[in-house]
Chain A
Amino acid sequence: MNFFFRPFGLLLSLLGVAFVAAGVHLASILAMPEIAPRDAYARLAALAKPAQMTLLPAVLPGREMIPFEDPALAQAVCLYDLSNGPLHVHADIEDPGLLTLSFRTRDGRVFYSMTDQAALHGNIEVRIMTQPQLAAVEESDEDDENEPLQELRLVAPDMKGFVLVNALAAFPSERAEAETRAASISCSTETVARD
């Protein structure tokens, strides 16, 4: 019974406790992104339809979906699932207001981001796809080699993810305008012709 009180036994027991604690700590940290029940994607999925740009409710006290958000932003989200085909994101940049886009994985991490400053000829054209989808598209590209590519092609790390759009209302009176700007970005799944 006095095992715990013998110096060597006690040390061994403490080592055992530390070993188990380290394992449990590391495992729980690594598992957190998988087990967090109300992560950002779950919150957004409760509100947004897949492959469709959905305007998020304004950031107001007690009604925030996501913490550490800026109430001066109008935000829209598009959830995607590439197993149905690549996602096409298109924006016409007409007014000079700030617009930012982030392309995220299922767990909310950004694999690409841009602002309206990256627009070409007043356009933002992005296709998000998997590696095999990219290969298929590049194969069919060879016919019109001379035309420069007018779109940005992104290979997503995962099948599922989302695009988050921020539009800044620089003045409170510009909120409606910012919401229109954010919601006007189109987002749709493309079906790829298979032979």
Chain B
Amino acid sequence: MLNLFKFLVIVLAGTALGFAVTYRVLQRGPVFDVVSAGPWKTVPKSGSLDSDPYARAIEARSAELPLGSAEGLTFIARTDSGGAPLSPRCDYAVSGSVPPTRYWTLTLLSPRGFLIDNPAKRFGFTSAELVRAADGTFAIRVGHQARSGNWLPLGKPQPFLLMLRLYDTLLDFGTAKADASAMPKIVKGRCA
């Protein structure tokens, strides 16, 4: 009787702990094969046949469909270039260089990957539609306050992330080392 009770307690506690660990891991996002370049992170193998079981579980649960390797690369930034988490109370400037690619897009998303509604109905920029300086450089302003030029509005004061997609890029992180200087910088401006 005592042994059966003990056995049940062990099995129940183990099951609960096992599910709790799974839940935590799925919440935290990819663990293996993450390539970082400054604040930007990418998992080049995501969505491919040789992605690891953890990445597969995360993708199956969120139902995301990562780009194929010939289509392009997706980078996610949850922090600014200084390493501080992106805050909905602050303004940010995204500028600098982007690795050579046919097109790129920058999109503002919620932490779970959904668009945040805003009155301007502006959710991102493509490399083609950006307003650029005479020398070809660009700056995208992220924040609540309307700005001239490339303004990416943050609709509601809620946590967000930035997604940079390089379409038809020559960049291959399978072989090359990620270089922070080749990626756009995210610089914090004024905070409310």
Contacts and interface: CB of A to CB of B under 8 A. Distances in A.
A24 B165 CA distance: 36
A64 B110 CA distance: 12
B168 A115 contact: yes
Contact of B63 (A27, A43, A71): A43
Interface string B156-168: 0000000101011
Contact of B103 (A23, A59, A98): A98
Contact of B126 (A17, A61, A170): A170
B115 interface: yes
Interface in B41-87: 47-49, 51, 53-54, 56-57, 59-72, 74, 76
Describe A's contact surface by its main secondary structure. mixed
Contacts of A98: 102-103, 167-168
Contact of A110 (B47, B107, B116): B47
Nearest to B14: A20
Contacts of B95: none
Nearest to A168: B103
Contacts of B65: 40, 66, 69, 102, 104, 108, 164
A107 interface: yes
Nearest to A166: B71
A104 B49 CA distance: 9
A21 B11 CA distance: 8
B10 A16 contact: yes
Given A67-B64, A107-B60, A114-B70, A171 B15 contact: no
B128 A24 contact: no
A4 B26 CA distance: 32
Contact of A171 (B51, B64, B76, B129): B129
Interface of A: 1, 3-4, 13, 16-25, 27-30, 32-33, 36, 38-40, 43, 59-62, 64, 66-72, 98, 100-105, 107-115, 117-118, 157, 164, 166, 168-172
Interface of B: 2, 6, 9-11, 13-15, 17-19, 21-22, 25-26, 47-49, 51, 53-54, 56-57, 59-72, 74, 76, 102-103, 105, 107, 109, 112-117, 123-124, 126-129, 155, 163, 165, 167-168
